[in-house]
Structure 1
């Protein structure tokens, strides 16, 4: 077998191996929401059955045209009670865009709306308790600057009184 034939054989084998591994990993990571996984994207899967608690806090890292940066957010009765910018962009935006930092419930509503309107991308990943940890939206892949990525971390429900 020539060197060129061996290289081609290896390349075909590597491509096949990558395809098999990719499909295996995808099958493992798409558990359908609660329990720590993803839901089906723009055309698939329901939004997680998580219910927004009366009070909680979380950290939001947002990369959108309107809201960019990392914020520490406190929520009570479905409304943001405080949003602290944790970097230069987010500190500026908390001063200039009062009321623009969303609750987790509002983020899930954006996801539902994007799906119902047929967005090209409307995907979420969830933690084991069902709250979202990542929401990616892109209404039209051909449009510029309509992509949004929201990463939710340090989620803490407030203790019940």
Structure 2
């Protein structure tokens, strides 16, 4: 009877350990076929990416109680946002009330760099194969409520030229 209980405990421990390992990796790993790369908060080097003067992208900004919450289609020319279209109610409100708040990708990366200089608890990004950011996560204080920012970048299109 003791051998059976020991074997059951051993198998249970192995299964629990495997489950723990699998679940602790969730949300951290980037699928190898996505072309994205994740940076740890303490790593200050960035992928080489020269922000083009003109491009368009879709930004979904969420988390915390920041003024920039919502979904936007953004057009950048000569390094400046020339058009921002709110794609949801929050985005439309921001575009109408705070039009200067919609950033370029360079401004989002600068915000992340500043968060790192300020020693934020989390300041990390994932990058596409060409080097442009596809996700930026910021959390200035781990135990503070609503100081986080999550920027998801999609539909990036550099201007033809």
- 8 Å CA contact 1:62–1:148 kept in 2: the answer is yes
In the alignment, the residues of structure 2 paired with residue 62 and residue 75 of structure 1 have an alpha-carbon distance, to the nearest angstrom, of 17
- 8 Å CA contact 2:36–2:126 kept in 1: the answer is yes
- Computed over aligned residues only, the root mean square deviation of the Cα atoms, in angstroms, reads 2.8
2:129 matches 1:128 = yes
Question: TM-score scaled to structure 2, two decimals?
Answer: 0.84
- Classify the secondary structure of the residue corresponding to 2:95: helix
Please name the residue that 1:56 is paired with.
Answer: 55
- 8 Å CA contact 2:67–2:94 kept in 1: the answer is no
- 8 Å CA contact 1:59–1:154 kept in 2: the answer is yes
The Cα of 1:76 is off from its aligned counterpart by 1.0
In the alignment, the residues of structure 2 paired with residue 152 and residue 46 of structure 1 have an alpha-carbon distance, to the nearest angstrom, of 20
> Which stretches in structure 1 are left out of the alignment for 5+ residues?
none
Taking the TM superposition and a 5 Å limit, the aligned residue runs for 1:86-125 are 86-125=87-126
The structure-2 alpha-carbon separation of the partners of 1:14 and 1:45, relative to structure 1 and needing over 3 Å to count, comes to: farther
> Which stretches in structure 2 are left out of the alignment for 5+ residues?
none
Moved more, 58-67 or 128-137: 58-67
Please name the residue that 2:43 is paired with.
Answer: 44
The Cα of 1:4 is off from its aligned counterpart by 6.5
Number of residue pairs aligned between Structure 1 and Structure 2: 156
In the alignment, the residues of structure 2 paired with residue 151 and residue 24 of structure 1 have an alpha-carbon distance, to the nearest angstrom, of 20
